[in-house]
Amino acid sequence: MKASLSPPRPLRLLVASAEVHPYSKTGGLADMVAALAKFLAKAGHRVGLVTPLYRGLRDRFAEIKPFDWELRVPLGGRTMTATVGVARPRPRLTMYFIDQPEFFDRAGLYTDHRMEYSDNPERYIFFSRCVAQLARHLPWRPEVVHLHDWHTGVAPLLIRHQEWHDAWFEAPKTCFTIHNLAYQGQAPAWKYELTNLPWYYFHADGAEFYGGLNLMKSGIAFADVVTTVSPRYAREITTPEFGCGLDGLLRARENVLTGILNGVDYEEWRTTRNPHLTHPFTPRYLAGKTAGKLALQAELGLPPRADTPLFGTISRLEDQKGVDLILGALGEMLGHDLQYVLLGSGQLHYEQGFRALAERHPAKVAVRLGYNGGLAHRIEAGCDFYLMPSRFEPCGLNQMYSLRYGTIPIVRATGGLADVVRDVREDAELANGIQFTEPTSAALAKAIRKALALYAEPDALEHYRRNGMAADFSWEATAERYEAVYRRMLGEGAD
């Protein structure tokens, strides 16, 4: 008689990130980490999630309670102390907030008045040291530490050093995820002293980068496994074009590098029973989407017209996102019957450019600077097309939100955008969006003309919408892929 297979044992996981939704957020990093932790906990694993206690969090989240711990952390020639706050937002998930007012009680997360804090390397070296200390001393003994982006890049090295030289006999394995290789946490060489580590790790294959300290490089060099947020981006960053100077190291570590596409939390991004949407809709009842479009147009001061195609973007306004391509393409395309809405903020000259465009075309363009979560849902749901012409895009989430909301994404074929959006030239039956290749306003304008032609064909438009709404990028599947990575590190099986 065959013995039945027992289910895999639950894992003990410590996750660390500089931002976590809903506590802190500047971009997709916060959404991804929050969702990953949530779905790993739902799958039965014990999860701790470490993040800084930024200004105002105790006031906004009364559930954050004091934890009977004080961390004493060497930082170069001085010792810094921090207390820890805890919250338990769901079963098996514990939040640990690093409370150090000198570093984290500030107006912004990383910047103030558009200027980066000059001590960001100190702040996040300190944060990484707190993560390593928690990993070593938490009584439930994490067996995997999952670290996200350059802010945590020193932690894999700290853990390995303590394993090799400080009798940490059961040190956890480390997984380091690259969310955007363009942001690396570079600093002068002398700031390496803040790690209190020997200088023999500061070399061309370690934390050193052209004579300076590179926190992202440290994470890539010393983690057991390196992941990034889409399969195509994992391939792209091993090339000089997308490797941001680290492609050689990434090629050297290609055997431990893998790309896992981010997921979407469909408990939040849903078209029915969504408190942010004025009108629910489904693939079989798209009249609610049209009603939401009319309500969005009225909310933003545009003439409510169901027959006018509505394009939208929610984005940081910076070069990576290709927002200059949008400005150029709209300058050509606003002579056509279309409307455009933007929600975002960023570089001042782009903010001024979009404001000027709205002033010239008040009946066709609406701009809201800043971020508003509810409005983001209504734009995703109310628009007909979503413009996302990124020069590079590690994963991207808005193209996935758009698909779920029946809004057709228009994307440049790069990174996670190419992994998600299917163009008619690739698969006519399963087409759900429009791709273009060249990073130019002319190429984007051509893609917008394709969208206008599609809008004039109601049956084809509905076909694209239904395909998009049927796509499944759920976090359950993504969390399973990360679990497989953790188990492989621990010697418990393969993907």
Reported as a pLDDT band with limits 50, 70 and 90, residue 113 is confident
Say if CB 461 and CB 433 are below 8 A apart: no
Backbone angles phi, psi at 241, to 5 degrees: -65, -40
| 10's tokens | 């639950």
pLDDT tens-digit map of 139-173: 999 999 999 999 999 999 999 999 999 999 999 99
pTM score, whole prediction: 0.91
Q: Worst-scoring range by mean pLDDT, 5-9, 265-269, 366-370?
A: 5-9
* Separation of alpha carbons 75 and 94, rounded Å: 27
pLDDT for 346 beyond 80: yes
* Separation of alpha carbons 353 and 367, rounded Å: 10
Identical fold between 12-263+476-489 and 287-472: yes
Among the listed residues 59, 207, 192, the one whose alpha carbon sits nearest the alpha carbon of residue 122: 192
Reported as a pLDDT band with limits 50, 70 and 90, residue 6 is low
**Multiple choice CATH, 287-472, 3.40.50.2000, 3.40.710.10, 2.40.10.10, 2.40.50.140:** 3.40.50.2000
Please report the pLDDT score of residue 427 as a whole number.
86
DSSP state letters, 414-457? -HHHHHH---TTT-TTT--SEEE-S-SHHHHHHHHHHHHHHHT-
pLDDT for 1 beyond 50: no
Class in CATH terms, 12-263+476-489: alpha beta
Looking only at the bridges linking them, the beta strands covering 212-214 and 186-187 are: antiparallel
| 57's tokens | 């969090």
Give the rounded percent of residues in the chain with a pLDDT score beyond 70: 98
Say if CB 304 and CB 298 are below 8 A apart: yes
pLDDT tens-digit map of 172-230: 999 999 999 999 999 999 999 999 999 999 999 999 999 999 999 999 999 999 999 99
Residue ranges of the domains in the chain? 12-263+476-489, 287-472
